[in-house]
Chains A and B, each alone.
Chain A
C-alpha cells in the first residue's frame, strides 16, 4: 500500500489548518453559509437530515490497520460509534458536529486520511478493484495508476470548479470488479500485440437521471501519456460541459450531445498542446510511485495446507464460509477474504467501532496490516495465508462479519436513503433489512445463486440500482414511498442497464416483489447453474413482469 511521505503529510495538514480557519470564520459569522458551503464540501462535509456528515476518502479502497484503528477512534470520539462504507470505497460518518470537525480531521490527518475530493465539483475518489495487487487475473497493480492520478488531481487549481463532479475508475484485470463503465472516465489496462501494456480510455458513464455507459474514445493510450491525456479530458469537460442545468452538467451529457468521435477530437486537439510537456511520465516517475507502495513479504507456501483441509473437513460451517467468502490469490498458499458487512437485519455497509478495531487487529496478524473496501460495501483482508483461514474465520464470526452471503441475494448494496440523506425521496435501509429477513435461509440463498440487489433512495442512484441484477429505486407519490423495480442490470465488463418490470409498488410490497422475482427465476431457469442474470438475458423481462404483476 502507498506510504505517505513528508510531502503528502504536509499537504494534508495544511489542508486541515485551512479548514479550521474556515470553520472559525463560519462560526463567527465572517463567512456566510453560501460561501462556506463549497469550502466545506471540498473537505467532504455535507449537511444531512439530522446532522453534518463527514465523508473520508479511502483512496482506491486501500486501508492500513493503523488507519482502520483511527476510523474506529473517530467513530467513538466524534460520532455514534459506527461508520458507513460507501459504494465509492469511502467511509461516511453521519453525526459529526461542525465545531468538532477540525479536530476529527486533524486526527485523521495524523494517519494520512482526509476528506479532500470527496465532494464538490472536482475529481472524486479514484476507485479500483478491491482485489488489486492480489487478484490472479490482473496485469499489474492498478493502484499505482490510481495513485498517480490521485496526486495529479488533488487540489488541482484548474479543475476544482468544474461543471459537476468527476469520477474515475482504473482496472487492470480481465474481470471488471470496479464497475468501470458507470464512471465519468475509466481506464482499463490491456496488453497489445507487441506485449506492451497501455490503457483503453472510456468516458461518459454515469447513473442518475440519465444513465449512460462509458464509451471508448482511445483504444490504447501509452502509459507515459496517462496524466496528460487525463488533463486534456478534464480541460475539455471544464470548458464545454454544460453549466446551465445541474441535471445536464456531467460529462456523459457532453459526450452524448457531441458524440464520442467529436468529443475525442476535441480532447486530442487539446492533448496535442500538452502531450510532450511536464506531464509526460518517464520511467523514473512511475518507478518512484511504485517504490512508495509497500508489498507483503510473502512466505513460500503451498496451496491447501493440512491446517486448511482438516478444518474444512471437520467444520461444515467453516467449509460453507470458505466456499462463499474466500477467493484465490495470485500467490500460492494465500487467499483473499471478503468480510460481509451485510448481516441479517443490518444496515448494508455499516461497521461498529469495535468491529473496525478487531478487523484492524486481524489485518495486523493475518493480512500484512492491509484492508480493502469494495464498492459493494464489503471489506476485504487481501493477503491471508491459507493456513490461517480457520483462525480468521473464528475471529470474524465472533464479531458478526462471517455471514457466508457474499454475492448472494442478501449481499445488498444500498445507499443510506431517507433515514439519513437530504436528497432522498424514500427509505432504502429498511427495504434492505426486510429482504435479508425474508431470505435469511442460506440454503435458499445458495439455491438462488449470485444475485445482486441494489437499492437507491432517489434518482441520484448512489446505490447503483441501474446496474443491479435487481434494482430498486425509491420515489415519492403523493407523500407515500413507492419503488420502481428493474431487472437485468450488470456492473461488470459486460455492463448493462436494467429494465423496468412494471409500475412502482408501495413500500410494504417491495420485499414481496423481490420474492416473486426469485420464485419466477426458479421457475424459468433452464438448469440450476443458469444464473439469475443469465435467465433474464435469455428469457427477457416479460415473463418476470407477468408473474410479478399478475396479482398487482
Chain B
C-alpha cells in the first residue's frame, strides 16, 4: 500500500505498533485507539512522534484532550462507501483545530482523492499503486468548489463576490 504525501509517493516514516508489541525507541509510531487510551501518559512521555489510528465509529471529541501531543491521526475507510471519516476529519481540522498529519487509511481509491483533500487529509495510504502514481493528476480536476471546507479553498459564492467587487473597483477608477 503506497503512501502518498505532498502529491507523490512517499516513504512512510511511521511504524505501526501492535497492541501487545513493545514500543520501538525514538521512531514515529502509530498505535491503536485502544492502546492509546490505555497508555496515554506513557506514549506521550515517550521520546518520538506519536500517531493514533482512530476508528470511524467513535467520536473524535474523545481524543480532544491529547490533540496537542499527537503528530498524526489515522482515520479509517473500511469501504470507500463508508464516509464517516470525512466528518471526523473536518471536525478535527475545523472545530478542534488539529494541525498534525491527518492520514486516510483503508479503502482509499483515486476517485476520492479530491474529497479527501478537501476534508483535510494530507496523507494517504492508497490501495492501488496506479492510483498513487496518478494522485497529482486526479486532484487538479476540479478548479471550482461550491462550499467551504477544511482545505481553505475559496468557494464559488465568495469568488463571485470578489470578482464583482474587483469589477466595481476598476469601474470607479
Interface positions of A (Cβ within 8 A of B): 5, 7-8, 10-11, 14-15, 17-18, 22, 30, 35, 38-39, 121, 151-162, 235, 238-239, 243, 273-274, 277-279, 284-285, 288-289
Contact = CB atoms under 8 A, between A and B. Distances in A.
Given A10-B143, A274-B95, 20 more contacts: A7-B156, A7-B159, A8-B144, A11-B142, A11-B144, A11-B156, A14-B142, A14-B143, A157-B119, A157-B149, A158-B149, A159-B83, A160-B115, A161-B81, A161-B82, A162-B83, A238-B83, A277-B94, A278-B148, A285-B157
Given A8-B156, A22-B111, A121-B81, A158 B143 contact: no
B147 A38 contact: no
A155 B143 contact: no
Contacts of A274: 94-95
B111 A39 contact: yes
B82 A158 contact: no
A15 to B, nearest CB: 8
A152 B146 contact: yes
B100 interface: no
Nearest to A227: B147
Contact of A158 (B119, B142, B144): B119
19 contacts: A10-B143, A11-B144, A11-B146, A11-B156, A14-B144, A38-B80, A151-B157, A152-B147, A153-B147, A155-B146, A158-B86, A159-B86, A160-B83, A160-B115, A161-B83, A238-B84, A274-B94, A284-B161, A288-B164
Given A7-B144, A11-B144, A158 B90 contact: yes
A284 B145 CA distance: 19
B7 interface: no
A152 B146 CA distance: 6
A18 B141 contact: yes
B76 interface: no
B160 interface: yes
Most buried by B among A22, A39, A239, A278: A239
Contacts of A277: 94
A277 B57 CA distance: 26
Interface string B93-109: 01100000000000001
B109 A35 contact: yes
A159 B161 CA distance: 26
Contacts of B119: 157-158
Contact of B141 (A17, A152, A153): A17
Contact of B87 (A8, A239, A243, A289): A239
Contacts of A8: 144, 156
Contacts of B88: 239
Best-buried of A14, A158, A274 by chain B (most CB within 10 Å): A158
B146 A151 contact: yes
Contacts of A17: 141
A398 to B, nearest CB: 42
Contacts of B116: 157
Contacts of B147: 151-154, 156-157
Q: Which 3 A-B pairs have the closest CB atoms?
A: A161-B83, A157-B118, A157-B115
Interface string B27-67: 00000000000000000000000000000000100000000
Nearest to A150: B146
A42 to B, nearest CB: 9
Interface string B159-171: 1110010000000
A159 B81 CA distance: 11
B156 A239 contact: no
A154 B95 contact: no
B114 interface: yes
A9 B94 CA distance: 29
Contact of B144 (A10, A121, A243, A289): A10
A30 B146 CA distance: 30
Contact of A243 (B82, B90, B118, B156): B82
Contacts of A152: 146-147
B156 A238 contact: no
A156 B161 CA distance: 21
A3 B147 CA distance: 19
B67 to A, nearest CB: 15
B107 to A, nearest CB: 10
Output the residue of B91, B117, B147, B160 with the most chain A CB within 10 A. B147
A14 B116 CA distance: 18
B81 A158 contact: no
